[in-house]
Chains A and B, each alone.
Chain A
């Protein structure tokens, strides 16, 4: 059977992917590329990875039948509760995997970028656990809007370096992390989404694929079938969506919808809806769809949600979108806020602003009562309370 969820030998999903890196990083990427599959497939890695996922992260996370939300939208909705993972989002599935790779490669110092701070917290957490030095690059604007996560990272012992170039958000934090890596080639760069040069997108998708593996098993128990009609996930760089889609990508039955941040609206110039606004180009070491001018300058994105405020998308998603295997839609800041308040009211669950984008798409879909939907609730809303508080009186 043809498998669409993995890149070819050269690291491409169709025309997207590859490793576009300055020579200064060649050895690092090469070392990783030569070793990552070997390490992942070793029994030692598998044992440690699954042990940590179960006993440290708290997996499997529940697949919760959200009855009130289902009733509201006249369909059957399950929420995959990644918000219940240790540290509050799906990001830790990936950091556990990569930190074990870093350890196997003998690395002592970890560099990472973060947007919402969830990846930064997850990285600082596993570094504390394995006693590795941790340096986190974070956009200065994000440090303000996700302050709670900055405090958590500090408490976990990480050094935080503010990214003050460009839009001072995730794109710039990623630039600074890559520059930091060039200057410090002995360190390990622990990327937080399904982006970057090959083999990162594949590695991250593999570590997040635990999400769809569990959905299959849990749905079999709950519904007597492995494949839902529809899987919905929000997309920043695309790691939680890659994980939620992974096992269903070759399915004939399951439709896949990724939801990006439209920001203030896709025509306003303040948006992060890459699949709608972008064209093919190179950003952060891979060929994918990116938001750029006709000269190839990257356009500064905007989203109320720091984790989706990114002008690119992982090459797997560019590929799935181009093949029309998955559909990429978007919702505005306002629609995401509404959806966050709605889930809180309906189910007593406060979602992360990122995840609220996935929920908000429900209003735009034609749904039937005999459909089974899975929405990946990628994270919890604790970090977004200041933003929610600002908008609380309006709702």
Chain B
């Protein structure tokens, strides 16, 4: 069976919209509802955050959403069960994003197996060292057809970018600037310079830009450079304010003001 991430990139090269939110937020059983609404609004890719008590790379918005989701009772087992119920509805790639400790406690092989069984096409584990991926994760990721996606930043060395590009099969997650999630300001000039370097390598993988993409204008600027962009904190803020999902997506795509 072909991985949905490959299918996506075969059919769409530009303006890919990926949305991140924390599983189990705002309500424990919102997973299916939010997933369907995002799909209906033509989002290309969905990232579910595995809530973790001590998310080192996240700002207050995602920290709070994580804590709320944990308090609601979310865990990996439950998330897989919820995704299982949506099997027939899921048409776009689903990615799980979380911290390595959650995966280790769940069990490595079990985790990748459950991803495969429950329509998860890829995982992002920002604190997974490359060497540990190669030594311990890769064989399970390959066996269960799950893509492991790595992060790079404008400060990552060219040597390391090449190494990551060689190890990646899904896409590369380009962190817009050296900062935790939710800072809301992106230096697009620096990012443009960085992309000029990337084009010279050139990368074999597609790229999506994330962290700090929160408006139509930043989405547009990011998608001029990359194949697409990822919206996280801004979407979680919209969920907290109970804004309509279609209005939010519309706003990101067209600058339509949100009328909620």
> Which positions in A face B, CB cutoff 8 Å?
10, 18-24, 26-27, 165-166, 171, 175, 178-179, 182-183, 185, 280-285, 292, 294-298
Contact = CB atoms under 8 A, between A and B. Distances in A.
A175 B57 contact: no
B67 to A, nearest CB: 8
A115 to B, nearest CB: 16
A10 B150 CA distance: 21
B57 A182 contact: yes
Contacts of B200: none
B54 A23 contact: no
B56 interface: yes
Contacts of A296: 52, 101-102, 104-106
Given A24-B175, A24-B178, A183-B180, A297 B53 contact: yes
B101 A23 contact: no
Contacts of B160: 26
13 contacts: A20-B127, A20-B128, A22-B151, A23-B156, A23-B175, A26-B156, A166-B53, A171-B54, A178-B56, A182-B180, A292-B105, A296-B104, A296-B106
Contacts of A280: 104
Given A24-B178, A297-B52, 12 more contacts: A23-B175, A26-B156, A182-B178, A183-B178, A183-B183, A185-B178, A282-B99, A284-B54, A292-B101, A294-B105, A295-B105, A295-B106
A101 to B, nearest CB: 21
Contacts of A27: 155-157
A96 to B, nearest CB: 27
A175 B66 CA distance: 15
Contacts of A18: 129, 132
B183 A295 contact: no
A298 B53 contact: yes
B127 to A, nearest CB: 4
A23 B126 contact: yes
Contacts of A26: 156, 160
Interface of B: 52-54, 56-60, 63, 67, 70, 75-76, 99-102, 104-106, 126-129, 131-132, 150-153, 155-157, 160, 175, 178-180, 183
Contact of A175 (B56, B100, B150, B155): B56
Interface centre among B67, B104, B157 (most CB of A within 10 A): B104
Nearest to B98: A296
Nearest to A280: B104
A21 B127 contact: yes
A292 B104 CA distance: 12
Interface centre among A10, A18, A179 (most CB of B within 10 A): A179
A171 B55 CA distance: 12
A96 B238 CA distance: 47
B76 A22 contact: no
A85 B99 CA distance: 39
A22 B183 contact: no
Nearest to A298: B53
Contacts of A178: 56
Nearest to A175: B54
B76 A182 contact: no
Given A18-B129, A23-B153, A165-B63, A179 B56 contact: yes
Contact of A282 (B59, B75, B127): B127
B176 to A, nearest CB: 11
A335 to B, nearest CB: 29
Interface centre among A19, A23, A283, A298 (most CB of B within 10 A): A23
A183 B211 CA distance: 12
A394 to B, nearest CB: 35
Contacts of A19: 129
Contacts of A10: 131
A390 B160 CA distance: 56
A198 B175 CA distance: 23
B104 A281 contact: yes
B186 to A, nearest CB: 14
A282 B52 CA distance: 12
Nearest to A165: B63
Contacts of B151: 22-24
Contacts of A294: 105
B156 A295 contact: no
Interface centre among B63, B127, B155, B156 (most CB of A within 10 A): B127
Contacts of B175: 23-24
B27 to A, nearest CB: 19
Contact of B179 (A20, A182, A282, A297): A182
A280 B100 CA distance: 12
A200 to B, nearest CB: 14
Contacts of B156: 23, 26-27
Contacts of B102: 295-296
Contacts of B104: 280-282, 296
A22 B54 contact: no
B153 A166 contact: no
A282 B106 CA distance: 13
Nearest to B128: A20
Given A18-B129, A20-B100, A22-B151, A295 B54 contact: no
Nearest to B155: A27
A292 B63 CA distance: 18
A172 to B, nearest CB: 8
Contacts of B157: 27
Contacts of A22: 56-57, 126-127, 151
